[in-house]
Every structure is written in structure tokens, then in C-alpha cells.
Amino acid sequence: MIKVRIPTPLRPLTKGQGEVEATAANISEMIETLNSAHPGLKDRLCDDKGELRRFVNIYVNEEDIRFLNGKDTSLKDGDEVSIVPAIAGGN
């Protein structure tokens, strides 16, 4: 089981939950699993080609998956995944 931290902008899709649990061997699987439980989530994370959007980062523990193995980055029991989209408010 892994814990996935959901950012504020995506919480409407998880009924307001800031953290959800998932069972997955890698990030691709995790996205599919999450999308089954929370339809629409995948569209917010990935573009039409299934690639991770360039203003959304996913961290396994503290590491950005773009600098690991991207969506093939493997997951193990107890990992904490954070989804962190860019935000731009300041005013």
C-alpha cells in the first residue's frame, strides 16, 4: 500500500480527501488505479498522449520522478507519493 498526497486543486475529484491510498507497482499503475477510484484524475495529470503534463510533478518520497524513471518509476510498500502541480497565485 502506498499513500498518495492529493493537492488542493485536485481534491474535488477525491471528495475533498487530501490523502488517498493505492496499491501499485509503479507510477503508471498508480495513475490507472487512482483514475478508477476517482474518475477524471488521469486527465488532470496526463496529456492526450498519456505523458505527464509539464506543469505537474510527481514525487516518490522526496524525489521527482522525472529524474528517476518517469512513469516507470517503481513503488514499494510504504512509499509516499506527492502530486504537486505548479501554482501561480500571489495577489
Partner 1 sequence: MEFTEAQLERYSRHIILNEVGGKGQKKLSQAKVLIIGAGGLGSPAALYLAAAGVGTLGLVDGDVVDLSNLQRQILHTTDRIGVPKVESGRQTLAALNPDITVKTYQENVSAENIMRLFHDYDIIVDGSDNFSTRFLINDACFFAKKTLISGSIFRFEGQLATIKPHEGFPCYRCLYPEPPPAGLVPNCQEAGVLGVLAGTIGVLQAAEAIKEILKVGDTLADKLLIYDALDMKFRKVSRPKDPNCRLCGPHPTIKNLSGDYAVSCAI
Determine the 3-state secondary structure of 77 from DSSP. Answer: coil
Shortest CB 53 distance to partner 1, Å: 7
Shortest CB 66 distance to partner 1, Å: 8
Shortest CB 11 distance to partner 1, Å: 9
Spatial strand order in the sheet of 19-22: 19-22, 2-5, 80-85, 56-60, 63-64
Eight-class DSSP state of 15 = T
Beta bridge partners of 5: 19, 82
Report how far residue 39's alpha carbon sits from residue 74's, in angstroms, rounded to the nearest whole number. 23
Determine the 3-state secondary structure of 75 from DSSP. Answer: coil
Q: For partner 1, give the closer residue by CB, 62 or 77.
A: 62
Q: For partner 1, give the closer residue by CB, 26 or 57.
A: 57
Q: For partner 1, give the closer residue by CB, 21 or 64.
A: 64
Binding site for partner 1 (CB under 8 A): 7-9, 18, 53-55, 57, 59, 62-64, 66-67, 82, 84-91
